[in-house]
Structure 1
Amino acid sequence: MSKFQLVALLMGCLLVAVPFSRNSASAAADEGDDDDDADDVVVLTTKNFDSVIAGSKFALVEFYAPWCGHCKSLAPHYSKAATILKASDPSVVIAKVDATVESELGTKFDVKGYPTLKWFIDGELASDYNGGRDTDGIVSWIKKKTGPFAITVETTESLEELEDDHPVLMVAYFKSLEGAEYEEFKSVALKTEDVPFVQTTDAAVAAAAGLEKPGISAVKNFVGEAREVVAFTGSLTAVEIKTFVTAEKLPLTIEFTQGNSDKIFNSGIKKQIIFWGSAADLSAESTSFASVRAVAKALKGQLVFVTANNEGESHEPITNYFGLKGAASPVIMGFHMEKNKKFRYTGELTEAALSAFANSVLDDTAKADYKSAPIPEEPEDGGVTVVVGKNFDDIVMDPSKDVLLEVYAPWCGHCKKLEPIYKKLAKRFSSVDTVVIAKMDGTENEHPEVEAKGYPTILFYPAGKKTPIPFDGGDRSLKALTKFIKKHAESEYELPKKGDKDDESNDKDEL
């Protein structure tokens, strides 16, 4: 699973490849008409795309869908960023494309989900956008791409002004802006887009940033935290400077919101500890939260410590993704983003116990936790074996069985259309003891041997092997599924002859 897919899942939606189709709205779009074109975001269509991009030194283009909730959430931030950048740097164009209308552009730039943002330089595609999804994040990312890698500051007043505008600054002090150590600093600043860098040769500015000799410090003014200055104590090499920046650029704990999601997922740190609780659990008086913050301070730069207020507006993605609905708070989860593994903590909420758990997540000794619905009282539904997380190993991983598993979602239209065909398939194999036709609700259950990028996902687990083989044919007919099982099954079997009611002439359904 890619980071893109994982972030989409955690934010509450699975973005899958969308077939683009041109519709009657394209005529209006071709003329550049757009009801939202009252701001400084340039509306692009197939007709004007090449000319606008070719005529721009820099351009950020959002490919969106009008119905997409994340696109709607991004819109005011994107618009405000466009206004700020238009005033400060006219060489930058902020633009958008309705990819549901401009199908050729969506296909050309490999748009598979919404919103997708692309960065262009001198008319050529340069990279995907990977900055924040709020106004400040967009502006700072583009300024880093288009301007100097670091802001030169010569007075303490200028440093104070920057502190007012940024929750964290990386300040570098050198006697002169040259030399081997300066080049090491420069190489990191050029490649780091989510935090502003400051450089100075002024001793007073350096002192205000906690530096008495040439070096680097982090000046932090995070909301809810007192101003803190942390001086870098390592050697001025790119590797050590990058490690310092990664450790200091985030607050000790960061709240999960849509605005913060990119900071969390693009932090460069793959593992997280999540503290899910009420407002009281997250208050300064909470002893459990104090323990979490103490561990966060000790493991700064190794784990991202994320909070989710289960009484707030942004908790639902965390609550749903980690299966915490109805759970007693607080709950502490470990999360390995790259491997999509979850770890649930069940011990005491003391600093020592939490530290041991956090370190077990770090060293990969923590036991993974997978979401599961209760084992059903009725093991079958219309002849189809019902699988949940808790009985997955017993049924799907049975070495004596060939198992076809459909991973579905109750709300999925394609899954509903497949259901009668799938039940016929189960009926066809009902007399074959070595083949199991099964299904699992992917919204309620998880297992390390299942990766569902969309619904329905159909996987075949051969007897004794159990490395799943995906069914990727577009034809989900009874005939196609039967042939797929026959091709990959380890066991020998013979199907009974089909009767009139089960004849394949009646089973030409395709999805």
Structure 2
Amino acid sequence: MLLNKSVYQLASLLTFVVGAQAQEAAAPSNSDVVKLTSENFESFIKEHPLVLTEFFAPWCGHCKNLAPHYVEAASILKDKDITLAQIDCTEEQDLCMGQGIGGYPSLKIFKDHDLDNALEYDGGRTTESIVAYMIKQSLPAVQEVESKEKFEELIKEAEQPVVVFNGDASLNETFSKAANKLFNEFSFVSYPESKSVLAVYLPNEDEPIVFKGEQKSLEDDVDALEAWVKVEGLPYFGEVNGETFASYVESGLPLAYFFYNNDEEKEEYLAFFTKLGKEYRGKLNFAGLDAGKFGKHAENLNMKEQFPLFAVHNMSSNLKYGLSQLADEEFEKLTEPTKLNTKDITKLVDDILAGKAEAIVKSEEIPDTQESAVIKIVGKNHDDIINDSKKDVLVKYYAPWCGHCRRLAPIYEELANVIASDDKASKSVVIGDIDATENDVPGVPLEGYPTVFLYPAGKNAEPVLFDQPRTLESLLAFIQKHGGSKLNTEKILEKYEAEKKAADEEKGDGENEHDEL
């Protein structure tokens, strides 16, 4: 799925907060982190079956943030025959270049003494994440468990969701493929005594989530099995942070945020949100967000920073919903945090899923007058304009700070002038733009700025992305080719240029006559 700007903004915020506390990048000499150099690197890898190696620089801020977690994880993993090592790339430049290190920290996994096929570490950077990830690396993708005692022990001690299937031969290949793809996020277990063909056991939950669909729908469809696991493997009520956010995005479901002020407040609503998570499983994900760290994200959801807060973001359509909030003056007068009405939350969720809820759309005001031939579009009138079935509507989605947008602006302005110069074109084509940082455009996939879409007359629901050189001629040819108005833009441009040339010559003659006088 395409990620919209709100998703990117939260991802950036999560990354920033996770990296807020700086430490020394190099592990202390008395830690269990092994220091490797060009002299002992190869021999060490050949002597140890599983090594996670950090390539770092002492000045690197992210390396400093990682350091305490890395040291603690090394101590925990030492007894499991899993080694954590460090290489200082400011001292071992040739070694780091040989390993293709392009940034810091770079984490690589060396398995089975193989120096030539290191794996990129792509797990989280907390102690718990490192430990869980590396323990998984020491295990086969699918664990085979025969006895009930070992199975129950595995489920009891699991720190990640456990995906279990009963060993049915018809599902075995698909299950193995899914396990290899999702190996680092979930534990996959083959247990012949399982009562169901497929189930997910969540940590700290007594009952498994059982697959209730047709088994044949999964037998040859790895993507379907993977999609099911990604949804059912999430907690009923989880926590959004730098380690978990991607999982919520990948599930493809709307995400309901509960912004809380402190752990006590979160605990107060825990049972309620867990119940909702179970009730709306597969339709909506519920998660907490620490307002003290990530409160700024409320603005991305078109909400005020008034906590506690409940809001829902459909990341696929970029539609945002939330409970009504107090006026700023009223909120400032409060002496203690407000309480969320659980009935209001349930009603909002029901209305969203029924398509009855009204989304909160961020928008500038609709301008009273247009200042140029380029029509200024805002969130409030965006859909009305692009859905005009009698017109071709070309829209530039831009950000004020974007350099490429600024370079396109004069070309786009001239394009609008060319269209405005022709009577037929001016009535059948709209050239507009919208500041996407100040206006929501639900359903429009914006991967960068500027993005230009043409909504053809009569086929407005099938926009065409402009992906050609950003020239006047290319834009006009694009409108002629994909528009429903069937304009001859070449002739329109010729006429425009001829009239412009004549006007310039007339102006020049007038200036010469004035000089003579």
TM-score between both structures, scaled by the size of structure 1: 0.61
Q: Indicate yes or no: 2:256 matched with 1:274.
A: yes
Flag structure 2 segments of 5+ consecutive residues without an equivalent.
Answer: 16-23, 220-224, 326-339, 505-517
Match of 1:436 among 426, 430, 435: 430
Q: Per-residue displacement from partner, 1:141-194 (whole Å, max 9, x unpaired)? A: 3322332555989999xx99997x8656759999xxx9989989x968775533
Contact 2:238 2:288 (8 Å CA) reproduced:
yes
**1:257 maps to what in 2?**
241
CA, structure 1 residues 420+480, in 2 after alignment: closer, same or farther (shift >3 Å)?
Answer: same
**1:305 maps to what in 2?**
286
Whole-angstrom CA distance in 2 between matches of 1:427 and 1:55: 72
Match of 1:296 among 277, 302, 307: 277
Match of 1:423 among 389, 409, 413: 413
Match of 1:465 among 455, 459, 470: 459
State the identity %.
31
Q: Indicate yes or no: 2:319 matched with 1:342.
A: yes
- Mean Cα displacement is larger for which, 56-65 or 403-412? 56-65
Whole-angstrom CA distance in 1 between matches of 2:302 and 2:49: 47
Q: Per-residue displacement from partner, 1:101-152 (whole Å, max 9, x unpaired)? A: 99xx9xx99x9x9999887865677987664453322432332233255598
Contact 1:347 1:353 (8 Å CA) reproduced:
no
**How much does 1:454 deviate?**
0.5
Contact 1:292 1:351 (8 Å CA) reproduced:
no
**2:447 maps to what in 1?**
453
Contact 1:133 1:262 (8 Å CA) reproduced:
no
**2:302 maps to what in 1?**
323
Whole-angstrom CA distance in 2 between matches of 1:3 and 1:52: 42
CA, structure 1 residues 13+445, in 2 after alignment: closer, same or farther (shift >3 Å)?
Answer: farther
Computing the radius of gyration from Cα coordinates, the structure with the larger value is: 2
Whole-angstrom CA distance in 1 between matches of 2:448 and 2:57: 19
Q: What one-letter code is carried by the residue in structure 2 that aligns with 1:440? A: I
Name the SS for the 2:292 alignment partner: coil
Q: Indicate yes or no: 2:206 matched with 1:229.
A: yes
**How much does 1:391 deviate?**
0.7
Name the SS for the 1:193 alignment partner: coil
Equivalent residues in 2 for 1:52-451, closer than 5 Å: 77=69, 88-89=80-81, 122=114, 131-148=123-140, 149-150=142-143, 167=159, 170=162, 192-195=183-186, 218=201, 220-221=203-204, 229-230=206-207, 250-265=234-249, 269-279=251-261, 283=265, 291-300=272-281, 303-309=284-290, 311-317=291-297, 319-325=298-304, 330-335=309-314, 337=315, 339-342=316-319, 344=321, 354=345, 358=349, 365=355, 369=359, 371-432=361-422, 433=426, 434-448=428-442, 450-451=444-445
CA, structure 1 residues 199+343, in 2 after alignment: closer, same or farther (shift >3 Å)?
Answer: same
**1:21 maps to what in 2?**
none
Whole-angstrom CA distance in 2 between matches of 1:408 and 1:264: 27
Contact 1:370 1:446 (8 Å CA) reproduced:
no
Q: Per-residue displacement from partner, 1:259-310 (whole Å, max 9, x unpaired)? A: 33244345xx4324413445289826867x764443223334654211234x
Aligned length: 443
**How much does 1:408 deviate?**
0.8
Whole-angstrom CA distance in 2 between matches of 1:423 and 1:43: 59
Whole-angstrom CA distance in 2 between matches of 1:389 and 1:471: 21
Contact 1:372 1:388 (8 Å CA) reproduced:
no
Name the SS for the 1:423 alignment partner: helix
**How much does 1:254 deviate?**
1.8
CA, structure 1 residues 443+415, in 2 after alignment: closer, same or farther (shift >3 Å)?
Answer: same
Flag structure 1 segments of 5+ consecutive residues without an equivalent.
Answer: 16-34, 202-210, 222-227, 504-511
Contact 1:256 1:315 (8 Å CA) reproduced:
no
Q: What one-letter code is carried by the residue in structure 2 that aligns with 1:136? A: E
**How much does 1:411 deviate?**
1.9
**How much does 1:499 deviate?**
2.8
Whole-angstrom CA distance in 1 between matches of 2:14 and 2:475: 25
Contact 2:396 2:450 (8 Å CA) reproduced:
yes
Name the SS for the 2:206 alignment partner: strand
Name the SS for the 1:307 alignment partner: strand
CA, structure 1 residues 361+230, in 2 after alignment: closer, same or farther (shift >3 Å)?
Answer: same
Whole-angstrom CA distance in 1 between matches of 2:117 and 2:389: 50
Contact 2:54 2:85 (8 Å CA) reproduced:
no
Whole-angstrom CA distance in 2 between matches of 1:265 and 1:401: 36
Whole-angstrom CA distance in 1 between matches of 2:415 and 2:61: 37
Whole-angstrom CA distance in 2 between matches of 1:62 and 1:351: 47
TM-score between both structures, scaled by the size of structure 2: 0.61
CA, structure 1 residues 347+87, in 2 after alignment: closer, same or farther (shift >3 Å)?
Answer: same
Whole-angstrom CA distance in 1 between matches of 2:431 and 2:324: 39
**How much does 1:3 deviate?**
6.3
- RMSD value, Cα: 6.2
**How much does 1:399 deviate?**
2.0
**How much does 1:344 deviate?**
2.0
**How much does 1:392 deviate?**
1.3
Q: Per-residue displacement from partner, 1:199-229 (whole Å, max 9, x unpaired)? A: 999xxxxxxxxx9xxx9995745xxxxxx53
Whole-angstrom CA distance in 2 between matches of 1:234 and 1:468: 38
**How much does 1:258 deviate?**
1.5
**How much does 1:84 deviate?**
5.9
**2:500 maps to what in 1?**
499
Name the SS for the 2:207 alignment partner: strand
Whole-angstrom CA distance in 1 between matches of 2:55 and 2:6: 19
1 or 2, which has the higher helix percentage? Answer: 2
**How much does 1:95 deviate?**
8.4
**How much does 1:54 deviate?**
11
Q: Per-residue displacement from partner, 1:75-104 (whole Å, max 9, x unpaired)? A: 765676577667744588788999xx99xx
